[in-house]
Structure 1
Amino acid sequence: MLYIIGLGLADERDVSVKGLEIIRQAERVYLEAYTAVLLVDQQQLESYYGRSLIIADREMVESRSDEILAGAHEKDVAFLVVGDPFSATTHTDLALRCRQHDPPIRTRTLPNASILTAVGATGLSLYSFGQTVSMVFFTESWRPASFYDRVGENAELGLHTLVLLDIKVKEPDLKAMARGKIVYEPPRFMTVAQCASQMLEVEEDRQQGVCGKERLAVGVARLGSEDERIVAGTLEELAGADLGAPLHSLVLCGRKMHEMEWEYVREFAVDREKFDRVWRAEYAGKG
């Protein structure tokens, strides 16, 4: 059987008791390491789990999944995913390959905490979130703005938008590849400030008010850990905010933000007086 096990958001202790029991008895244990990362390193995980871990990078999962599934129709294999397997990160394709395998491989999923639910720590109601969008690192020649239309659709309905921020793990250096060498760039993790700045940049081009400077937003970092950070303010304020180490996410507040949500979120505001002023002018009574 292939067990797809969610590890939660913070450290080695977030795994469920059921998940830990399976990890300790499985024939092989893979750690998916390209869509998200825990706040602890591989050695700390291995020490707590009492097992060695095989790192499953993007190339292995997408192109060499047969290595992961080998023998899984007879023995137990564990595939570990940061967060929840089928929430912010989806591994439906891997599960489908198990169905199509000859002979078929049984699967079992063990869920865990996800950013999609943990973001409720901001005080914003999970019932009031619309489509989740992703923000990638802009480059000199590539500034994709497809997120803007999805945020706009949420905004029309007065809904909050969770923005998942880009991470780059084991990304090949294109210049080195052109010289025939395989070299990987250092890991990079987008910050709330970078995300807010890119949203403002696209707003300057589109001019529809979807991501304006005075739009209220909430930045989060390391949710579920002992040093989690939550900072609220306008997009302009968050573009200058420092929330420290990864992982970061951002929520753009919908116009229907309820008074109870405002009362909770304002405690995290960079400038509480300004936050209150903007909320009363642009959000209060819109629900």
Structure 2
Amino acid sequence: MLTFIGLGLFDEKDISLKGLEAIARANRVYAEFYTSRLMGTTLEKMEGLYNKKITVLTREEVEQYPNWLEHAINEDVVFLTGGDTMVSTTHVDLRLRAMEMGITTKLVHGSSISSAVCGLTGLQNYRFGKAVTVPHPYTSSRGKTVISETPYDTVLQNLEHGLHTLVFLDIDKEKGYMTVNQALDLLLQVEAKRSTNILQDRIAVGIARAGSDFPAVAADHIQRLKNFDFGAPLHIMIIPADTHFVEAESLVKLAHAPKSILEVHNQ
């Protein structure tokens, strides 16, 4: 048996009772923290609360050489991830591999950032389009810095259909955790390259440390928001489309957005 358990958003206490019960029954407990991680805890705290040794896997051990799956043929094995399990394509692929090996799989869901951002901002979940990740720039073989333009294109496509965009921010072993400020700057660099002016005057929403007692939530025009100090990671961002009046009021009251966004609905 292989049980995938989503740990939730921030610390070791976000896990569900069903998740704790599955860990208690497990012979082996594995985890990966490269797609996401719980910033409010440590491996030692998790092992203390769960009362089990946790083996942290590398990206290669999950995606390329998951030899540890063989233990799940005859034992109860648990695989821990931040957020909700199966949100990452990597985890879906791992489940399919296990099933091909004849391993029974089970899911224990956890709280997800995809739904948490709606609660924190008041933006309505059914109005979100395709999500996207802003990656760190990389250096090409010619020594040129390359900025991905895919996130910008995704935001524009969603805006054309009146949909909000949830923007995940890159986590890189060497470059660290991308901030809202860095992501906004990268989007504006793409816009400048194309000589367009679509995003500069729009509202964006930044969120940091969702799931903690004191998350940072701020909304403002992009040119101003890129200078806001969101503090420690993890960060995530939303580029809203034109808002419903309840959404606009929520952004003002919950995210301190400029009250001018309400004027559109009062005309």
TM-score, normalised on structure 1? 0.86
Shift of 1:277: 2.5
Distance 2:154 2:104 in 1: 36
Residue 229 of structure 2 corresponds to 242
What secondary structure is seen at the aligned counterpart in 2 of 1:249? strand
Confirm or deny that 1:60 pairs with 2:61.
yes
Residue 135 of structure 2 corresponds to 136
Distance 1:280 1:133 in 2: 30
Letter of the 1:133 partner, please give it: V
Distance 2:165 2:63 in 1: 29
Shift of 1:160: 0.6
Residue 47 of structure 2 corresponds to 46
CA gap of 1:89–1:100, structure 2 versus 1, over 3 A, is closer
Shift of 1:16: 0.7
Shift of 1:88: 5.1
CA gap of 1:137–1:228, structure 2 versus 1, over 3 A, is same
Distance 1:252 1:88 in 2: 21
Q: Deviations over 1:119-154 (max 9, x none)?
A: 112110011111101001124522111112211110
Residue 116 of structure 2 corresponds to 118
Indicate conservation of the 8 Å contact 2:249/2:262, yes or no. Answer: no
Indicate conservation of the 8 Å contact 1:35/1:89, yes or no. Answer: no
Distance 1:63 1:209 in 2: 42
Shift of 1:244: 0.7
TM-score, normalised on structure 2? 0.92
Distance 1:55 1:23 in 2: 15
Q: Deviations over 1:226-272 (max 9, x none)?
A: 121101101111210111111000000102x11111111112556x5
Distance 1:234 1:88 in 2: 30
Indicate conservation of the 8 Å contact 1:2/1:106, yes or no. Answer: yes
Q: Deviations over 1:200-238 (max 9, x none)?
A: 11111123444x221101100111111211011011112
Indicate conservation of the 8 Å contact 2:164/2:238, yes or no. Answer: yes
Shift of 1:280: 3.3
Distance 1:4 1:209 in 2: 44
Q: Gaps (5+ residues) in structure 1? A: 170-184
Bigger drift between 81-90 and 52-61 goes to 81-90
Shift of 1:92: 0.8
Distance 2:29 2:72 in 1: 11
What secondary structure is seen at the aligned counterpart in 2 of 1:91? helix
Give 1:5-154 correspondences, 5 Å limit: 5-39=5-39, 40-67=41-68, 69-87=69-87, 90-101=90-101, 104-120=102-118, 121-139=120-138, 141-154=145-158
Identical aligned residues as a percent? 39
Letter of the 2:37 partner, please give it: V
Residue 259 of structure 1 corresponds to 245
Indicate conservation of the 8 Å contact 1:83/1:89, yes or no. Answer: no
Letter of the 1:28 partner, please give it: R
Distance 2:266 2:163 in 1: 14
Indicate conservation of the 8 Å contact 1:214/1:278, yes or no. Answer: no
Q: Gaps (5+ residues) in structure 2? A: 140-144
Structure 1 stretches of 4+ with a deviation exceeding 6 A read: none
Cα-Cα RMSD = 1.8
